[in-house]
């Protein structure tokens, strides 16, 4: 890997957690074939049928606590521990597998399953239990906790920080994401414009593949450890 690389931004998506046993969204049999996005991933769907939405995320919260990080998460955690330059893992994933593998520099732009957001006072709370049944917010007492997950039509978390890191990045790597959802799908173009080398690691070419300097096709559990070994030399 070139000596000129110091700052790295890594974008991860559902594909990196697939081999841990978490369904992706858009692959055959994925979550969006099983559920309508409008019903379970929009503020309007939640207003219409809160219990349905709470049950959907309660089931996913329970499931995520039963799976383990895979070799791809572990390799990124090793890179995070060893890399002396700036590094940020921006994940679209709402699971905690990057952290459980040991990664520290992780930003959850689409929120977290193991967190609850109070719609009344705005506080975020670590949360591993069901939300159906309307437990009270530990801060304000309102029975207004919702999944701390960014729905369609809502603003992802920490966009200013992400763009700041993209601006300074020498290398942008996208792992296991279809490139179908903005703003994350646009990061490759932003990173390029700011002068970064861009690399995609994915099972198949993503929708934004054209924008990458290099695409490597395969399973994250194989490609990511190989790439990390290259980078750490
Ligand atoms: P998708 O389901 O859209 O895409 C997953 C990608 O991972 C696909 O391109 C697969 O080919 C690839 N893939 C599957 N298994 C893989 C493996 N073992 N190794 C490597 N790649 C693999 O998931 P995302 O791109 O993460 O947003 O979806 C983006 C957003 O859409 C999600 O964060 C979620 C969803 O709607 C919100 O809920 C706001």
- pLDDT tens-digit readout, 146-184: 999 999 999 999 999 999 999 999 999 999 999 999 999
Angle between helices 220-232 and 71-82 (to 10 degrees): 20
Residue 77 carries which DSSP code? H
Q: What confidence score (pLDDT) does residue 30 get?
A: 87
Q: What is the mean pLDDT of residues 7-24?
A: 97
d(CA 211, CA 192): 8
Nearest-CA residue for ligand 1 atom 35 is 25
Question: How many C-beta atoms surround the C-beta of residue 126 within 10 A?
Answer: 10
Average pLDDT value for the chain = 96
Q: What is the mean pLDDT of residues 24-40?
A: 89
Q: What confidence score (pLDDT) does residue 3 get?
A: 67
Catalytic residue among 73, 110, 125, 197: 110
d(CA 9, CA 4): 15
Q: What is the mean pLDDT of residues 130-149?
A: 97
Q: Record the tokens describing residue 161, joined without a space.
A: 């920080």
Nearest-CA residue for ligand 1 atom 16 is 15
């Amino acid at each position: 890997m070139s000596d000129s690389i110091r700052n790295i931004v890594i974008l991860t998506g559902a594909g990196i957690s697939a081999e841990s046993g978490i369904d992706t969204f858009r692959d055959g049999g994925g979550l969006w074939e099983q559920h309508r996005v409008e019903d379970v991933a929009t503020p309007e769907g939640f207003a219409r049928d809160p219990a349905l939405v709470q049950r959907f995320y309660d089931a996913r919260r329970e499931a995520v606590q039963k799976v383990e990080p895979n070799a791809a998460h572990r390799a990124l955690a090793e890179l995070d521990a060893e890399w002396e330059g700036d590094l940020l893992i921006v994940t679209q994933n709402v699971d905690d597998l990057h952290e459980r593998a040991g990664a520290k520099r992780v930003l959850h732009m689409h929120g977290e399953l193991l967190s609850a957001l109070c719609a009344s006072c705005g506080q975020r709370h670590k949360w591993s239990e069901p939300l159906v049944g309307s437990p009270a917010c530990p801060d304000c007492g309102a029975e207004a906790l919702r999944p701390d997950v960014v729905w369609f039509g809502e603003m992802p978390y920490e966009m200013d920080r992400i763009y700041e890191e993209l601006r300074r990045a020498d290398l942008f790597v996208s792992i296991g994401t279809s490139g179908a959802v903005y703003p994350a799908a646009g990061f490759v173009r932003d990173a390029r414009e700011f002068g970064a080398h861009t690399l995609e690691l994915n099972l198949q070419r993503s929708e934004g593949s054209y924008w990458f300097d290099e695409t490597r096709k395969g399973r994250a559990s194989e490609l990511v450890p190989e790439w990390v070994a290259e980078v750490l030399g």
